[in-house]
Amino acid sequence: VQTGLPNQPEAETTLAFAVNAARTAVETALETEDFAAAMTALAGLRAPVDAFFEAVMVNSDVSEERDNRLKLLGQVRDVMGQVADFGQIAG
């Protein structure tokens, strides 16, 4: 995900950095099978994800923005998928 694109909302940049930090924390926690720490790292994504969806139009008319935002959301999914299959949660 590119950061610093023209007209990139702060929430998008914040989420990109938060995902990178969470990825590192999750990988470190999983190496030692510290699943609580991995879940804590994922919980830290809650506020940046919420802010992203409040401030950012994911399906921008500008294809570069849209592609970048979809890749960012894919990274969120990938980091979360390292810990659990959240698709199995009923609700």
Domain ranges of the chain: 10-83
8 A C-beta contact, residue 38 and residue 86: no
**CA atoms in the 13 A half-sphere facing the CB of 33:** 0
How do the pLDDT tens digits run along the chain, 91 residues long?
555 555 678 999 999 999 999 999 999 999 999 999 999 999 999 999 999 999 999 999 999 999 999 999 999 999 999 997 777 777 6
Q: Which tokens is 14 given? A: 């914040």
Buried b (16+ CB within 10 A) or exposed e, 31-67: eeeeeeebeebbeebeebbebbeeebeeeeeeeebee
